[in-house]
Amino acid sequence: MKRILIFIGVCSTLAMNGQDTLWILPGTWIQGLDTMPALRSEVQPTWTGFNAVIDRPANTSNSIVIVNTDTIEHTWSTNAPDAAITSLPPEMATEVSLPSLPQGSYHYSLIDEPGKVLGAGGLLRIGWTDETMFYWNLSEWQPSMMELAAAGESIDWTLPYVPRHFTINERAYPSTADDPNALVAVNLNDTCFISISNLGHMNHVLHFHGFHVDIMTSTDHPERVGWNKDTVPIRKGESMTVRLVAFQEGMYPVHNHNLIAVTNAGFYPGGMITTIHVMP
């Protein structure tokens, strides 16, 4: 208890505002009938179950304080080029440098095995300050694997991977409609941008009904910047930004076209589905 008070004191000294401090929080996450152990990176020291987004200006180096409230050490990094790897001792606050990056979408995550499986990772948006922005943190979850990771046991990655839950911002459809960052609600003829990252362990591919989107940035497919697509693969570990011009009104689904991923524990519809709602 004494150590926790000390590190909270340290981090409150280092932190400038909420988004300048991330709290690594162990907790219990409920999806449908499944209850599973999980980790989250949140902007406050209390568990909500949702990973935070970090926003930073482009071409400016800065830092962030990460408070690891877990009882084991974790390893933190980003998918930005030449990203540093930082160890986060248990029950300690650590200041992490964020390098100068060009405008784009990236993500941060824990890259040690328990951290990777338990899911403390989120979007790192660089240079998007004036635009209408949404974000989709894509992931999928296999409860049995999460139980092993939380118990400190090693994961046998050669076994078939059969995730039961597929989420956008830690929500599965229809709960994605409750998330103002997942539900793209815009007015007719608006232009908006969506930061997307795949923090899961398998590739995903999103199909946009009603619209083609412009690929603006991509960490893994820079050669696709400028392509105009309705079906967009986001590889494991990839981040991208797409631009959507809402040229027609109505409600249009966006969903994973790997169709096992539009289920919740096997029930259809569910999983990685959200909606574009264009109002007149």
Partner 1 sequence: MKRIPIILLAWGLITSNAWSQMPPPQMFSEMDGFHFLADGTPLPIWGYGWVTDGYITLPGPLLTYTEGEQVDLNFTNPSPESHTIHLHGLDVDQANDGVPTTSFFVVTGQSTTYSFIADRPGTFLYHCHVTTTLHLTMGMYGMILVTRPDMTLFEGGPSYTEDVPLLFSDLEIATNLDPVGSFPFHTIRPDVFMVNGRADNQLELASQIVSYEPGQTLALRLGSMAYSRMMCAFPPELHAVCHMSDGRAIPEPFEVDSLEIYPGERFTVLITPDAGWNGTIAADYWNMADGFVEDTQFIRVRDAALDIDESTATPWSGYPNPTQSIIQYPPALDVTVWDAWGREVFHGDLLDGQLHVSDWSVGTYVVRAGEGPISRFVVVD
Interface residues with partner 1 (CB under 8 A) are 160-164, 166, 202-203, 205, 207, 209-212, 223, 226-231, 233, 248-253, 257-263, 265-269
Whether the CB-CB separation of 96 and 87 falls below 8 Å is answered with no
Whether the CB-CB separation of 102 and 126 falls below 8 Å is answered with yes
Whether the CB-CB separation of 278 and 180 falls below 8 Å is answered with no
Residue type, 123: L
CA separation for the pair 36, 30 (Å, rounded): 6
For residue 140, give every residue at least 6 positions away whose Cβ sits within 8 Å of its Cβ, in sequence order, or none.
Answer: 163, 165, 166, 167, 200, 201, 202, 204, 261
Q: How far is the CB of 193 from partner 1 (least distance, A)?
A: 19
- Three-state DSSP state, 247: coil
